[in-house]
């Protein structure tokens, strides 16, 4: 009997221990998660409570001092670059390991390893676009051409890995505990992958949609509805700029045959609307103190842990501070003792699609001119949690990977399309930032930028010596007009890109007469620029607001620049709403709300401040109107893009009775006014519903700015309903899910005077008090002091660590 | 007396050894302690169970007070439990069960080697 009861209890105990140590379906093992000494409870500590005054970091040539200011921003003081980047890797991993790892796994198409086959399609997409392939080429490029940068990347990896190796279960980031996996070794390759991933986030193309539109609408209507330049073009490089170089001639083929298939394949995911940025610099002649001032605010998805990690990196040679990307070396947007720089996305059709004609089903060869060229096969092994790995074969042509084929997103077609993209060309973006970090003047800045390929950026610059500059840098293909706007025939060698625009012919300007440079993702140049420039997504509002303000302003201070970054003026509304109210005419609606809303709209000053109600009304009304006007676009049955809002407003203004407003499918003839009235009715309906369900419709409450954890299902780790103004197309571009992911203002005085903030916090740990502590500051348009620190400054120190 | 000693011993084991060892090592140690102390099955169950349960509960409450972190509440939401308090309770109960069964196993193990009591009264 006693044997029996012993064995019974023993089995019960072991079984209990086993059950809580193993995952049950999607539920992670409970014990390692809940054990208060190792589980998530240990992640409740904030970094200052775990401060260490000394840490061993192997591979350093001299001790490195890390000083944290009260916002947990590390200031790293090292004797040389190798030590500096080793320490940067270690410290960044200490605060952001899970995020770095997760983002690079996403970039490598390896999310299925963590979450199972729900992510398989996403992983296939990522891999078929060739991000990993691009990063491999990038690594090869470094091995051949730039062993120094490679050695820095390896030093960084060494730092990250030493942190991973000393990681205790207790301090392992909580996301690993919930998702039940472990960090893996960091490599130089992963840093490169991260930069490719940024390209992917920022670059889109609408070749598919334009190919369809060309077929549906015909060339003439297409050009009317989607002009290459808007009437009020206010480009990045001032329109007065004289191009003082002899352009390379681009030969347009005599005949261009675009593939004329009905393209019903699913388009690639595009960068989300609202992804964009502002940057500008004003010269000393326009500022109160006579020093140039530079400002930058990149707009991206608002995520936690934040994409950015603030840092100061110092060696005896230089001291740089600003926003870094966890996983990449150096500072990406920042300043040093001599210069400041910033980036905005310079969208310019960098991806083109070629239709591939395979010789036979084996896809071993494809037609090119009169001959057949051989393909190569790349087998992507996608590991899946809890399942067998998935093998995906991607065919590569000399253009690039065949993304769409019989096995992927093209059930109804046997067409194959290859993607040509600058990301697949060996390049060295990392070097640009390393050089910018140390740059002393305009020449250094130009030299740094020469290394930059993709994603093309508008690099703003200002120096203590008084220069301001802007340069649009990327590797831009030489294209004849309309090349790459539509899908092209890959069998026709005449369709090839004819080389690249030389770096010194990329649009740039230094100390323009108007006293400022600025970019906001708008058209890069005036039509006088000798090369073909096209993109679907150029900005039409923020640029005019910023340039308009900067033209007017004088005696500018840092405070003025902060105010401009947080400017809520809704330019689009200011142009569309008066037209809409006019076209609406008198409202005889019995709905008493109609009069109330109209009054709110008529009295509005066009500022989309968080406490305003009119922006909500306008936003809904405009949205309905836009959908009404272009409703037939939904009936085309193929993926298309609609004409942009700016163009639509032009039609409202210039030809309200015009044929663009008439719906072919109805016997009656519609005008702008018809749509405006209909949209108004629809707005009343939607508002009724909103007021019944939600009550308050002030702007902040309606747009509900949310800063979302990288795993959207972890809602509790997100910060929802942030009370802040702004919106898409507004200088303060904070919409529901996008906005200023980093704001920086620097005055290039003798000692730079700098301010910065981002919607997040230095810690990646949701349990830490430094996880989201900048959000309220950011939401109010306030900033943190970002001045450079010396190693012996004793004020405002949270704690210090010596690495040796 | 044995109950109290085992309870105190259990708390000490969890507080001092759990920070450097995973929970299953603690379970084995509690089993061994229970066998050495030699309390009866039910009493061992209660002593080691309360020992581990209270130590775990105490640690979570200590962390909650000392860090002020919102993490338990966030985790409670993610795990669909609604509140952090539930999670604190679950941690305590889990500690109690793990400790209790370990102790009981230890106690029953000792019983295997105990001399049979029939000779006691026969002199």
The predicted-structure confidence for A748-759, as pLDDT tens digits, reads as follows 999 999 999 999
Residue A514 lies in a domain: yes
Tell me how far apart the alpha carbons of residues A123 and A204 are, in angstroms, rounded to a whole number.
18
Quick one: pLDDT band at residue A410, thresholds 50, 70, 90?
Answer: low
pLDDT at A259 (0 to 100): 66
Chain A residues touching B104 at Cβ < 8 A: 9, 13
Please tell me the predicted confidence (pLDDT) of residue A160: 97
* A157 burial level (CB within 10 Å; 0-12, 13-18, 19+): buried
- Which of A703, A737, A759 terminates a domain? The answer is A703
Please check whether residues A533 and A665 belong to one and the same domain: no
d(CA A125, CA A174): 28
Closest chain A C-alpha to B84 CA, distance in angstroms: 11
- B87 with A49: Cβ contact below 8 A: no
Mean pLDDT of A42-63: 93
Mean pLDDT of the residues in chain B: 88
**Dihedrals phi, psi of B119, to nearest 5 degrees:** -80, -15
In a domain, A8, yes or no: no
Mean pLDDT (chain A) is: 91
What pLDDT shows up at residue A483?
87
Do A623 and A552 share a structural domain? Answer: no
Q: Do both A480 and A388 map to the same domain?
A: yes
- Using only C-alpha atoms, chain A has a radius of gyration, in whole angstroms, of 28
The structure tokens 């400041």 sit at A340
DSSP A202: H
CB < 8 Å to A12, chain B: 101
How far is it, in rounded angstroms, from Cα B109 to Cα B117?
Answer: 17
* A575: in domain: yes
Residue in A with minimal Cα distance to B72: A41
Looking up tokens 């990392």, which residue turns up?
A430
Size of interface A-B (CB pairs under 8 A): 112
| pLDDT single digits (tens) A512-526 | 999 999 999 999 999
> Does A2 sit within 8 Å of B112, measured CB to CB?
yes
Is pLDDT larger for residue A212 or for residue B73?
A: B73
CA distance A757 to A788: 15
- A116 domain-assigned: no
CA B68 to chain CA centroid, Å, is 26
Question: Do A329 and A235 sit in the same domain of this protein?
Answer: yes
Angle CA A520–A521–A527, to nearest 5: 110
Q: Would you call B109 and A769 a contact, using CB atoms and an 8 Å cutoff?
A: no
Chain B CB contacts of A35 under 8 Å are: 18, 22-23, 56
3-state secondary structure A728-794: CCCCCCCCCCEEECCEEEEECCCCCEEEEECCCCCCCCCCCCCCCCCHHHHHCCCCEECCCCCCCCC
**3 state SS for A373-389:** EECEEEEEEEEECCEEE
Kindly tell me the burial class for residue A5, based on how many C-beta atoms sit within 10 Å of its own C-beta (0-12, 13-18, 19 or more): middle
Q: Is A317 on the interface with B (CB under 8 A)?
A: no
- Of chain A, the percentage scoring pLDDT greater than 90 comes to 68
Which pLDDT belongs to residue B123?
Answer: 43
Residue A474 has pLDDT above 70, yes or no: yes
Write the secondary structure of A345-362 as one string of H (helix), E (strand) and C (coil): ECCCCCEEEEEECECCCC
Q: Render pLDDT for A173-201 as a digit per residue (tens, 0 to 9).
A: 999 999 989 999 999 999 999 988 888 87
A351: nearest Cα among A417, A299, A415, A265: A417
CATH of the domain at A477: 3.60.20.10
Going by pLDDT thresholds of 50, 70 and 90, the confidence category of residue A139 is very high
Among A703, A738, A756, identify where a domain stops: A703
Largest Cα–Cα separation, chain A: 100
Based on the domain organization, do A558 and A595 belong to the same domain? no
Chain B residues bordering chain A (beta-carbon distance below 8 Å): 18-19, 22-24, 27, 31, 41, 56, 59-60, 63-64, 67-75, 77-78, 87, 90-91, 94, 97-98, 101-102, 104-105, 108-109, 111-112
Last residue of a domain, one of A534, A565, A596: A565
Contact (CB<8Å) A37/B64: no
- Identify the bridge partners of residue A322 per DSSP, sorted by sequence position: A311, A334
A469 CB burial (10 A radius; 0-12, 13-18, 19+): buried
pLDDT digits (tens, 9 = 90+) for A706-725: 999 999 889 999 999 999 99
Distance separating alpha carbons of residues A38 and A33, to the nearest angstrom = 7
Distance of CA A768 to the CA centre of its chain: 26
Provide, as residue numbers in chain A, all residues whose Cβ is less than 8 Å from the Cβ of B23: 17, 31-32, 35, 38
Return the residue in A13, A50, A715, A767 with the most chain B beta carbons within 10 A, the one to mutate for interface testing.
A13
The total of structural domains in chain A comes to 2
CB A319 within 8 A of CB A330: no
How far apart CA A8 and CA B109 sit, in angstroms, is 11
Phi, psi of A483 (to 5 degrees): -65, 130
Domain map (residue ranges) of chain B: 2-113
Residue A173 token pair: 């980031």
Q: Give residue A684's domain range.
A: 571-703
**Which chain B residue has its CA at the smallest distance from A711's CA?**
B78
Q: Is A178 on the interface with B (CB under 8 A)?
A: yes
For tokens 């571009």, name the residue. Answer: A733
On the question of a cis peptide bond just before residue A462, with omega within 30 degrees of 0, the verdict is no
CATH number of the domain encompassing residue A607: 1.10.1400
Tell me if A770 is assigned to some domain. no
Indicate whether A384 belongs to any domain.
Answer: yes
Which tokens sit at A444?
Answer: 């250094």
* A584 and A534, same domain (yes or no): no
CB atoms within 10 A of CB A56: 9
**A395 and A378 part of one domain:** yes
Within 8 A of A16 by CB-CB distance, chain B residues are: 97-98, 101
- B121 pLDDT more than 80: no
* Cis ω for the linkage preceding A54 (within 30 of 0): no
Q: What is the pLDDT of residue A221?
A: 87
Site from A8, A9, A15 to mutate, B interface, most B CB atoms within 10 angstroms: A9
A288 and A400 inside one domain: yes
The per-residue pLDDT for range B27-85, each reduced to its tens digit, is 999 999 998 988 888 889 999 999 999 999 999 999 999 998 999 999 988 888 877 88
Supply the DSSP symbol for B52: H
**Helices A81-107 and A131-145: angle between axes, nearest 10 degrees:** 160
Q: Minimum mean pLDDT among A28-37, A45-54, A290-299: which range? A: A28-37
């Amino acid at each position: 009997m006693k044997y029996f009861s012993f064995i019974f209890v023993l089995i019960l105990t072991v079984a209990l221990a086993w059950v809580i140590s193993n995952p049950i379906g999607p539920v992670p093992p409970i014990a390692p998660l809940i054990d208060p000494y190792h589980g998530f409870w240990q992640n409740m500590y904030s970094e200052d409570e775990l401060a260490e005054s000394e840490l061993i970091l192997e591979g350093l040539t001299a001790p490195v001092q890390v000083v944290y200011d009260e916002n947990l921003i590390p200031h790293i003081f090292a004797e040389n670059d190798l030590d500096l980047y080793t320490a940067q890797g270690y410290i960044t991993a200490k605060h952001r390991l899970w995020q770095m790892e997760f983002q690079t796994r996403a970039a490598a198409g390896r999310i299925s390893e963590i979450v199972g086959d729900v992510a398989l399609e996403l992983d296939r997409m990522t891999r078929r676009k060739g991000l990993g392939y691009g990063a491999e080429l990038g690594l090869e490029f470094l091995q051949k051409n730039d062993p120094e940068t490679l050695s820095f990347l390896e030093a960084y990896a060494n730092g990250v890995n030493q942190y991973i190796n000393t990681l205790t279960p207790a301090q392992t980031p909580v996301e690993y505990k919930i998702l039940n996996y472990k960090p893996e070794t960091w490599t130089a390759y992963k840093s490169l992958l991260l930069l490719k991933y940024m390209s992917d986030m920022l670059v889109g193309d609408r070749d598919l949609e334009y190919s369809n539109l060309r077929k549906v609408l015909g060339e003439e209507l297409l050009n009317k509805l989607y002009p290459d330049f808007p009437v009020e073009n206010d480009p990045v490089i001032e329109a007065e700029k004289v191009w003082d170089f002899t352009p390379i001639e681009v030969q347009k083929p005599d005949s261009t045959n675009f593939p004329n298939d009905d393209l019903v394949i699913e388009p690639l995911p595009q960068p989300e609307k609202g992804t964009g940025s502002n940057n500008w610099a004003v010269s000393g002649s326009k500022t109160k103190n006579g020093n140039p001032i530079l400002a930058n605010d990149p707009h991206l998805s608002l995520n936690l842990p934040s994409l950015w990690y603030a840092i100061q990196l110092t060696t005896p040679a230089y001291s740089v501070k600003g926003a870094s990307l966890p996983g990449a070396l150096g500072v990406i947007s920042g300043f040093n003792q001599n210069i400041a720089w910033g980036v905005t996305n310079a969208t310019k059709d960098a991806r083109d699609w070629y239709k591939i004609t395979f010789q036979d089903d084996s896809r071993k060869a494809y037609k090119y001119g009169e001959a057949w060229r051989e393909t190569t096969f790349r087998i992507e092994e996608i590991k899946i949690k809890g399942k067998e790995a998935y093998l995906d074969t991607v065919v590569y042509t000399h253009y690039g990977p065949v993304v769409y084929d019989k096995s992927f997103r093209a059930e109804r077609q046997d067409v194959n399309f290859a993607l040509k993209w600058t990301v697949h060309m060996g390049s060295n973006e990392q070097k640009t930032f390393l050089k910018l970090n140390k740059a002393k003047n305009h020449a250094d800045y130009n030299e740094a930028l020469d290394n930059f390929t993709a994603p093309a950026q508008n690099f703003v610059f200002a120096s203590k010596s008084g220069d301001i500059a802007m340069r649009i840098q990327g590797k831009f293909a030489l294209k004849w007009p309309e090349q790459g706007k539509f899908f092209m025939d890959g069998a026709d060698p005449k369709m090839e890109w004819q080389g690249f625009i030389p770096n010194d012919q990329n649009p740039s300007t230094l100390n323009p007469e108007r006293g400022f440079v600025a970019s906001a993702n708008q058209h890069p140049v005036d039509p006088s620029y000798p090369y073909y420039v096209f993109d679907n997504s150029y900005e039409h509002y923020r640029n005019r607001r910023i340039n308009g303000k900067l033209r007017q302003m004088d005696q500018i201070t840092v405070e003025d620049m902060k105010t401009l970054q947080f400017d809520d003026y809704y330019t689009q509304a200011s142009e569309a709403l008066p037209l809409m109210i006019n076209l609406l005419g008198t409202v005889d609606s019995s709905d008493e709300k109609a009069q109330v809303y109209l009054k709110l709209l008529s009295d509005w000053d066009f500022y989309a401040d968080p406490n305003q109600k009119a922006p909500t009304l306008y936003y809904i009304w405009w949205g309905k109107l836009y959908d009404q006007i272009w409703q037939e676009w939904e009936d085309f049955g193929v993926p298309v893009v609609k004409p942009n809002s700016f163009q639509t407003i032009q039609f409202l203004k210039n030809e309200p009775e015009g044929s663009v407003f008439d719906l072919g499918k109805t016997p009656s003839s519609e005008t702008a006014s018809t749509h405006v009235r209909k949209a108004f009715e629809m707005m009343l309906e939607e508002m009724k519903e909103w007021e019944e369900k939600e009550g308050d419709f002030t702007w902040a409450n309606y747009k509900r700015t949310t800063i979302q954890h990288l795993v959207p299902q972890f809602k509790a780790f997100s910060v929802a309903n942030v009370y802040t103004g702004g919106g898409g197309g507004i200088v303060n571009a904070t919409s529901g899910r996008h906005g200023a992911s980093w704001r920086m203002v620097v005055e290039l005085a003798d000692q730079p005077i700098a301010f910065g903030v981002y919607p997040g916090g230095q810690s990646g740990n949701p349990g830490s008090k430094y996880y989201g502590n900048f959000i309220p500051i950011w939401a109010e348009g306030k900033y943190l002091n970002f001045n450079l620190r010396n190693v012996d400054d004793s004020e405002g120190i949270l704690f210090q660590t010596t690495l040796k | 007396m044995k109950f109290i000693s085992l309870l105190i011993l259990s708390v000490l084991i969890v507080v001092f050894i759990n920070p450097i060892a995973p929970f299953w090592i603690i379970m084995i140690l509690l089993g061994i302690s229970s066998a050495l102390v030699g309390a009866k099955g039910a009493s061992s169950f209660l002593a080691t169970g309360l020992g581990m349960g209270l130590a775990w509960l105490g640690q979570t409450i200590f962390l909650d007070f000392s860090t002020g972190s919102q993490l338990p509440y966030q985790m409670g939401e993610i795990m669909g439990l609604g509140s952090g308090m539930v999670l604190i309770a679950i941690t305590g109960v889990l500690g109690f069960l793990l400790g209790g069964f370990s102790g009981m196993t230890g106690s029953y193990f000792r019983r295997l080697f105990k001399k049979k009591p029939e000779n006691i009264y026969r002199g």
